[in-house]
Structure 1
Amino acid sequence: MAPPEIHLHQGDLPAGLTLGDSVAVDSETMGLDLSRDRLCLLQLSAGDGVCHLVQFPLGSYDAPNLKALLSDPGVTKIFHFARFDVAAIRRYLGVDCTPVYCTKIASKLVRTYTDRHGLKDLCRELLGVEISKQQQSSDWGTAELSQEQLAYAASDVLYLHQLRAKLDVMLAREGRAELAQACFRFLPTRAALDIAGWNDIDIFAH
């Protein structure tokens, strides 16, 4: 497979860039606490082997082109573990990211024969692709990202369209497509609850 084509942008997507009616999205932050750890990078791909990375200068989230895309109701945003990314986007970019598709939720609804629902596991089983997670815990706040970081960031979005297609077949086969859609529609609310302090509390529990 040819290496991905990676475009690094500072602060925003270029004006006029179109990524079709579905775009794979992922985020890199300084850590997993959204009240503390800032959003550093957003990755996007139309599923065509091209990845656009938007790097945010420290504390600067004025990205009108990116925000317009993320909130466009005509563009489905595909994530893996959308709960975190949608919350990070809401917290730092101030937009509700809809509509959303989450490959991790879809996997949990149909791959009930396993408890391994990581992106690496999905790519291996459904696509026969091995992806590296070596750069997962690196410093995403640095001004100069390494080639290894760029390649890692790109790998997180390059396969989401293919995974969605495979998972959609399984969801339809098992009669769980509408259940998945209902979960996806709830994700912006789940993200809002996380930001508001209910991240570790199951409000549906007794």
Structure 2
Amino acid sequence: MPDTLPPCIFVDSVAAWNTCLEELQQVQQFAIDLESNGLFAYRERICLIQISTHAHDYIIDPLSEIDLAPLVTLIENPKIEKILHASEYDLILMKREHDWDMHNLFDTMWAARLIGYEKIGLASMLNALYGMKIDKKFQRANWCERPLSKGQLDYAQTDTHYLFQLRDDLEDMLAGMGRYDELIEIFEEQAKVRLPDVDFSAEAFWQIQGMRDLTPRGRAILRELNIMRNEIAKRRNRPPFKVFGNHTLLEIADIAPQRMQQLTPITGLRQHNISRYGRRILAAVQKGKKAPIPKKPARIKQHSDAVSARYETLHKWRKAYARQRGVASDVILTRETMWDIAIANPRSAADLSAITSFGPVRRKLYGAEVLSVLRGK
């Protein structure tokens, strides 16, 4: 495979976008990838869309004047295959930002996982199969900044340009292993996007690593500091960790400073931070000192002991079976499916068929063993 890229087509005008759409409406498959600004914004957004056909590589600027609405008919068209690598995050962005539902997906990362590859990043796969070296220095770039450099455009183009060959080679391997039908079932599951809850919770401070080392009063202060940080991050459209790191909040909560001078030695607080936010920090500390001691939310027992025991039995079986096949455990069954099975407590193949998350291909592959394991055999 040649490791030199042909010129890409940058799409930031209505005319260029119409040309791109005309070609996409004629093809049976295209490769697609997204770039976002998750490391630079409070709520990430789609900053770049890369689409490759067998003829052209398009780099589409969604921040320009173009209307992306026509793309939904192509994304949702089951007759057009969409090739992605590591699709989960991109599918979430598409669903959350545009309410697009992907149909006819081929995820080359999942194909690699089903074969048993351990290093499954795109750069690793291109290196393993074709000896290509991909520069990853733009992996953490802010893709919403303009203009984009030549290096960024090359990096973005690489994410889709080689996916056709990778897809075909992985498909051939899986067909030879007799695993292609299993892969298609996985793709159907991947396309069913569940949007994660991204709303801020005042109780999120319980998830900060190191919180348990604080006194009860320190935890009350940490709670107020975390609320303050989120308010600043949201107003400035920055990720919370770019405002203050968790270690900084923990140190402030532990010291509980009362004066501006006490902020200077704190790790992660530079003078400009103190000048800008010092009074808000001290106010949050004072509020935490007066607030009720927070009580950790009680863990709700979601399942009976019998259901949990069945889940653990399935978990152990899955781990052993995956090791035998040389794949990651969730390639065999997802945690969600194992919980569904444990709750249903199936006794027969007919019972298994009623579990919607346990698809027909994997029921055929693993159903008999699952029933045997649940019976203790």
Answer with 166-175 or 69-78: which moved more: 69-78
Q: Encode CA deviations 1:58-108: one digit per residue, 9 max, x unaligned.
A: 8x8841232222222221000000111111111112211211000000000
Q: Encode CA deviations 1:139-160: one digit per residue, 9 max, x unaligned.
A: 1011311111111000000110
The Cα of 1:26 is off from its aligned counterpart by 0.5
User: Is residue 30 of structure 2 the alignment partner of residue 23 of structure 1?
Assistant: yes
Q: 1:89 is matched with which residue?
A: 94
| SS of 1:18 mapped into structure 2 | helix
- Give the letter aligned to residue 204 of structure 1: T
Larger C-alpha radius of gyration, 1 or 2? 2
Match among 27, 39, 43 for residue 36 of structure 1: 43
Match among 169, 174, 183 for residue 171 of structure 1: 174
Q: 1:172-187 counterparts in 2 under 5 A?
A: 172-187=175-190
> For structure 1, which runs of at least 5 residues remain unmatched after alignment?
none
- CA–CA distance in structure 1, aligned partners of residues 40 and 113 of structure 2: 24
User: Is residue 222 of structure 2 the alignment partner of residue 197 of structure 1?
Assistant: no
Task: Choose between structure 1 and 2: higher helix proportion.
Answer: 2
- Give the letter aligned to residue 6 of structure 1: C
- CA–CA distance in structure 1, aligned partners of residues 119 and 159 of structure 2: 17
| SS of 1:138 mapped into structure 2 | coil
TM-score under structure 1 length normalisation? 0.85
User: Is residue 113 of structure 2 the alignment partner of residue 108 of structure 1?
Assistant: yes
The Cα of 1:119 is off from its aligned counterpart by 0.5
User: Is residue 161 of structure 2 the alignment partner of residue 158 of structure 1?
Assistant: yes
Given the superposition, is the C-alpha separation of residues 102 and 33 from structure 1 closer, same or farther in structure 2, using an over 3 Å criterion? farther
- CA–CA distance in structure 1, aligned partners of residues 179 and 41 of structure 2: 31
**RMSD, matched Cα:** 2.6
- CA–CA distance in structure 2, aligned partners of residues 47 and 61 of structure 1: 23
User: Is residue 77 of structure 2 the alignment partner of residue 72 of structure 1?
Assistant: yes
The Cα of 1:202 is off from its aligned counterpart by 4.4
Task: Choose between structure 1 and 2: higher strand proportion.
Answer: 1
- Give the letter aligned to residue 203 of structure 1: E
**Any conservation in 2 of the 1:11–1:62 contact (CA below 8 Å)?**
no
| SS of 1:101 mapped into structure 2 | strand
| SS of 2:18 mapped into structure 1 | coil
The Cα of 1:33 is off from its aligned counterpart by 10
- Give the letter aligned to residue 163 of structure 2: L
**Any conservation in 1 of the 2:39–2:140 contact (CA below 8 Å)?**
no
Answer with 36-45 or 60-69: which moved more: 60-69
- CA–CA distance in structure 1, aligned partners of residues 39 and 105 of structure 2: 21
Q: 2:124 is matched with which residue?
A: 121
Given the superposition, is the C-alpha separation of residues 205 and 62 from structure 1 closer, same or farther in structure 2, using an over 3 Å criterion? farther
Match among 14, 20, 30 for residue 18 of structure 2: 14
**Any conservation in 1 of the 2:81–2:106 contact (CA below 8 Å)?**
yes
User: Is residue 55 of structure 2 the alignment partner of residue 52 of structure 1?
Assistant: no
TM-score under structure 2 length normalisation? 0.48
- CA–CA distance in structure 1, aligned partners of residues 50 and 336 of structure 2: 31
Aligned-residue identity in percent:
27
Given the superposition, is the C-alpha separation of residues 78 and 34 from structure 1 closer, same or farther in structure 2, using an over 3 Å criterion? farther
- CA–CA distance in structure 1, aligned partners of residues 39 and 190 of structure 2: 17
The Cα of 1:11 is off from its aligned counterpart by 7.2
> For structure 2, which runs of at least 5 residues remain unmatched after alignment?
199-333, 340-377
Corresponding residue pairs, total = 197
Q: Encode CA deviations 1:6-60: one digit per residue, 9 max, x unaligned.
A: 1111277325521411101100011279982111111000134x311111228x8
Match among 121, 137, 141 for residue 140 of structure 2: 137
**Any conservation in 1 of the 2:76–2:101 contact (CA below 8 Å)?**
yes
| SS of 1:197 mapped into structure 2 | coil
| SS of 1:8 mapped into structure 2 | strand
